[in-house]
């Protein structure tokens, strides 16, 4: 419709305006609620060209268009805005064509290039938490939205299964796990604890123990006792302690933090963990066995969580397998002069010309860092999927800088596809003021499993209170509670613009009224119940549309362009808001107009077909968010 008008204006530009106008001058917007019309053209941009008042310009353009286009039933001009009223026949024909199209809004399947969407990417040393929920829901949804846009999509993750942090939980388990009467240390089997939770318990334990040890070391230093520490350490710490003299509180805090870091690195626990990492890289059999065992506990736990989340992956990558390729790439780049080596043997890239810093890509002992492994993973993926056009990394915005650098390095290494890679950067999920930050090590996280369980419980309570669940089997009821609870949680985390942070208050559990998942699900269930009662639907003859019906049709017509926008912007939030808007329009209609009870059969059928298509789009849009909708609730 917009395109038709635009086309006519452009093609008749000379006749209308005296010379060719720029396409950008043609701006449409929604007609204000209190003004008559369905579509509005902004007249101001043409006023200069036409050299007349906005009112005259609007009149001129309006009459010209109304003459040429029969879907324009009438028009009016109000203070620089030309408002068109679109004919009922046009909207009814829209309804018919939407109704016929089962995949309404979707682009042709596999018509666009393959993209890879990376999301989740957990560390195998702790369970998933609320932040991971946002990540997983976002990544899954963006992948689905891209599919709807015609892309082939590969869902993937990089499992962070190696590194010093993994060794920490391994070491802590080996050292601090109690031994039972059978002489076994704690396992998921003999404790009944979920695997990832058990591993996470020892990650926290490591942190606790080594903080204790670090404190003891600092106390020693403060007594000026530097026995058993290297001269370098002693000199540095002495210098730091001396520098505290005469400084203000904040500065002293900063210096103390530095001293603490040094102390942590001097703990026997940390040294043992480092040693374990070296053993692991050397494939020491005992260390490897422990690593495999504890990782497998984690994976078993993750599987349960992923299943509850309703997300899936096409292909997994493991850091333990890609970091070597990364190291090779760095050494290759070193030969080419892209990287440089410092005296201590560490390898860096100089990005100061790009306004960034120097960045480490390989440690002095030759081991890989985060960046090394990410380089390897990216290249690995392109060799696995040669037709890949780009990778979308769903990772929190705290890593904005990392990805800027990653893409830049890939480009410098000569990979053209680097420019098609993007970072789907999302805001942190924060706890309300005073509740601190979520930190796994400190045990201040909102656990993913617990949260999902809680929300499903509260959905159960609400559904038993007011739902329509008579005649359902226990199994069906449980499915429904789950569907409502998870729908609420997903919608809550996806309706916010990805790049914005979310403040989550665990004490006020998630709202299920208002702009929420269940609100949308409820409307869907209500429509389904209507349709079920109506029996067979037939086509309708010529009818007159009410305002409420036109509003819905206008909104429905925009679904395809919304899917395109959501795809372009990698934003499920756009779809969530669109659906919310649609549901509000429908509820208003439902409340004020008879549907089943309408006596005129054509009208009844038209309203039922309209309802059926609203349900279809609700279902479709919610599915793109990873949310299911019920037939009854």
Partner RNA sequence: GGGCCAGUAGCUCAGCUGGAUAGAGCACCUCCCUUCUAAGGAGGCGGUCAAAGGUUCGAAUCCUUUCUGGCUCACCA
Footprint (CB under 7 A) of RNA, residues 514-573: 514-516, 518-519, 522, 525-526, 528-530, 533, 573
Confirm or reject binding of residue 250 to RNA (CB under 7 A).
no
Confirm or reject binding of residue 588 to RNA (CB under 7 A).
yes
Closest to RNA by CB, 32 or 109: 32
Confirm or reject binding of residue 457 to RNA (CB under 7 A).
no
Closest to RNA by CB, 156 or 188: 156
Select from 352, 360, 370 the least CA-distant residue to 165: 370
Interface residue with RNA, options 401, 419, 436, 444 (CB under 7 A): 401
List Cβ neighbours of 411 (8 Å cut-off, separation of 6 or more): 418, 419
Closest to RNA by CB, 108 or 250: 250
Question: Does residue 242 contact residue 189 with C-beta atoms inside 8 Å?
Answer: no
Gap between the Cα atoms of 19 and 22, Å rounded: 10
Q: Which residues of 158-171 are buried (b: 16+ CB within 10 A; e: fewer)?
A: bbbbbbebbbbbbb
Closest to RNA by CB, 153 or 583: 583
Confirm or reject binding of residue 322 to RNA (CB under 7 A).
no
**For tokens 């409420």, what's the residue?**
548
Binding segment (CB under 7 A) for RNA, from list 65-73, 88-96, 438-446, 589-597: 589-597
Which whole-number Å values give the CA distances from 385 to 41, 71, 381, 389, in the listed order? 46, 48, 6, 9
Confirm or reject binding of residue 235 to RNA (CB under 7 A).
no
| Interacting residues with RNA between 32 and 51 (CB under 7 A) | 32, 34-35, 37, 40, 42, 44-45
**Other CB atoms within 10 A of residue 208 CB:** 15
Question: Does residue 157 contact residue 136 with C-beta atoms inside 8 Å?
Answer: no
Gap between the Cα atoms of 604 and 134, Å rounded: 42
Which whole-number Å values give the CA distances from 102 to 107, 337, 620, in the listed order? 12, 56, 10
Interface residue with RNA, options 178, 232, 591, 599 (CB under 7 A): 591
Closest to RNA by CB, 427 or 443: 427
Q: How far is the CB of 103 from RNA (least distance, A)?
A: 25
Closest to RNA by CB, 214 or 573: 573
Closest to RNA by CB, 307 or 468: 468
| Interacting residues with RNA between 48 and 107 (CB under 7 A) | 78-81, 83
Q: How far is the CB of 98 from RNA (least distance, A)?
A: 21
Tokens of 126: 């702790």
Q: How far is the CB of 67 from RNA (least distance, A)?
A: 21
Residue 570 zone, left/alpha/beta (φ > 0; ψ -120 to 50; rest): left
Alpha helices by DSSP H, listed for 69-194, are 88-100, 130-148, 164-176, 188-191
Select from 487, 617, 628 the least CA-distant residue to 558: 617
Gap between the Cα atoms of 511 and 137, Å rounded: 18
Interface residue with RNA, options 462, 493, 603, 606 (CB under 7 A): 462
| Interacting residues with RNA between 116 and 155 (CB under 7 A) | 123
Confirm or reject binding of residue 301 to RNA (CB under 7 A).
no
Confirm or reject binding of residue 357 to RNA (CB under 7 A).
yes
Q: Say whether 500 sits in a helix, a strand or coil.
A: coil
Exposed/middle/buried for residue 307 (C-beta within 10 Å: 0-12, 13-18, 19+):
exposed
x-or-dash pattern for RNA, window 404-443, by CB under 7 A?
A: -----------------------xx--------x------
Q: How many residues of this chain bind RNA (CB under 7 A)?
A: 91
| Interacting residues with RNA between 254 and 273 (CB under 7 A) | none
Closest to RNA by CB, 238 or 533: 533
Closest to RNA by CB, 288 or 594: 594
Binding segment (CB under 7 A) for RNA, from list 144-152, 287-295, 583-591, 618-626: 583-591
Q: How far is the CB of 192 from RNA (least distance, A)?
A: 29
Confirm or reject binding of residue 596 to RNA (CB under 7 A).
yes
List Cβ neighbours of 367 (8 Å cut-off, separation of 6 or more): 277, 281
Interface residue with RNA, options 513, 538, 561, 600 (CB under 7 A): 513
Interface residue with RNA, options 237, 410, 512, 605 (CB under 7 A): 512
Confirm or reject binding of residue 501 to RNA (CB under 7 A).
yes
Q: What is the DSSP letter of 438?
A: -
Select from 555, 571, 545, 568 the least CA-distant residue to 613: 555
């Amino acid at each position: 419709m917009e395109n038709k008008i635009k086309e006519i204006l452009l093609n008749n530009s000379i006749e209308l305006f005296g010379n060719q106008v720029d396409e950008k001058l043609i701006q449409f917007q929604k007609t204000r609620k209190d003004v008559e019309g369905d579509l509005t053209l902004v007249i101001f941009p043409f006023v200069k060209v036409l050299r007349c008042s906005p009112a005259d310009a609007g009149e001129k353009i309006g009459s010209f268009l109304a003459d040429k286009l029969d879907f324009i039933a009438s028009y009016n001009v109000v203070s620089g805005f030309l408002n068109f009223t679109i004919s009922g026949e046009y909207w009814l024909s829209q309804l018919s064509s939407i109704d016929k199209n089962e995949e309404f809004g979707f682009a042709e399947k596999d018509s666009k290039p393959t993209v890879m969407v990376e999301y989740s990417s957990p560390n195998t040393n702790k369970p998933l938490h609320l932040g991971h929920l946002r990540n997983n829901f976002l990544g899954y949804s963006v992948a689905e939205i891209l599919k709807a846009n015609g892309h082939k999509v590969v869902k993937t993750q990089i499992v962070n299964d190696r590194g010093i942090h993994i060794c920490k939980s391994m070491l802590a388990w080996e050292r601090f796990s109690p031994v039972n009467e059978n002489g076994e240390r704690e396992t998921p089997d003999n404790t009944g604890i979920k695997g990832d939770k058990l591993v996470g318990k020892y990650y926290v334990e490591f942190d606790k123990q080594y903080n204790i040890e670090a404190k003891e070391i600092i106390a020693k230093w403060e007594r000026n006792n530097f026995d058993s520490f290297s001269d370098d350490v002693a000199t540095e710490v002495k210098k730091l302690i001396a520098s505290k003299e005469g400084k203000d509180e904040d500065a002293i805090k900063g210096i103390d933090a530095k001293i603490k870091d040094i102390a942590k690195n001097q703990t026997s626990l940390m040294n043992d963990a480092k040693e374990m990492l070296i053993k692991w890289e050397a494939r020491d059999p005992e260390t490897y066995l422990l690593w495999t065992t504890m990782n497998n506990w984690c994976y078993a736990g993750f599987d349960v969580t992923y299943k509850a989340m309703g997300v899936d992956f096409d292909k997994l990558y493991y850091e333990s397998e890609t970091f070597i390729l990364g190291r090779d790439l760095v050494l290759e780049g070193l030969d080419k002069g892209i990287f440089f080596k410092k005296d201590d043997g560490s390898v860096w890239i100089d990005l100061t010309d790009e306004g960034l810093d120097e960045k480490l890509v390989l440690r002095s002992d030759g081991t890989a860092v985060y960046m090394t492994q990410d380089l390897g993973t990216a290249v690995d993926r392109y060799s696995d999927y040669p037709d890949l056009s780009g990778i979308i990394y769903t990772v929190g915005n705290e890593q904005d800088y990392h990805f800027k650098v990653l893409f830049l390095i890939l480009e410098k290494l000569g990979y053209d596809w680097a420019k098609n890679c993007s970072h789907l950067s999302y805001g942190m999920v924060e706890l309300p003021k005073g509740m601190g930050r979520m930190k796994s090590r400190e045990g201040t996280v909102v656990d993913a499993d617990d949260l999902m369980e809680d929300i499903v419980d509260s959905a159960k309570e609400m559904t038993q209170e007011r739902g329509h669940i008579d005649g359902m089997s226990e199994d069906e009821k449980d499915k429904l509670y789950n569907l409502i609870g998870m729908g609420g949680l997903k919608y809550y985390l996806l309706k916010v613009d990805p790049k914005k942070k979310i403040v989550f208050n665990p004490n006020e559990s998630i709202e299920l009224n208002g702009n929420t998942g269940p609100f949308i699900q409820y409307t869907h269930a209500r429509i389904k119940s209507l349709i079920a009662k109506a029996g067979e639907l037939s086509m309708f003859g010529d009818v007159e549309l009410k305002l409420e019906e036109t509003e819905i049709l206008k909104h429905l017509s925009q679904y395809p362009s919304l899917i395109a926008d959501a795809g372009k912007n990698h934003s499920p939030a756009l779809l969530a808001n669109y659906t919310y808007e649609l549901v509000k329009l429908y509820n208003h209609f439902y409340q004020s107009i008879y549907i089943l009870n309408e006596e005129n059969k054509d009208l009844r059928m038209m309203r039922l077909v309209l309802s059926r298509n609203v349900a279809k789009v609700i279902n479709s849009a919610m599915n793109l968010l990873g949310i299911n909708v019920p037939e009854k609730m």
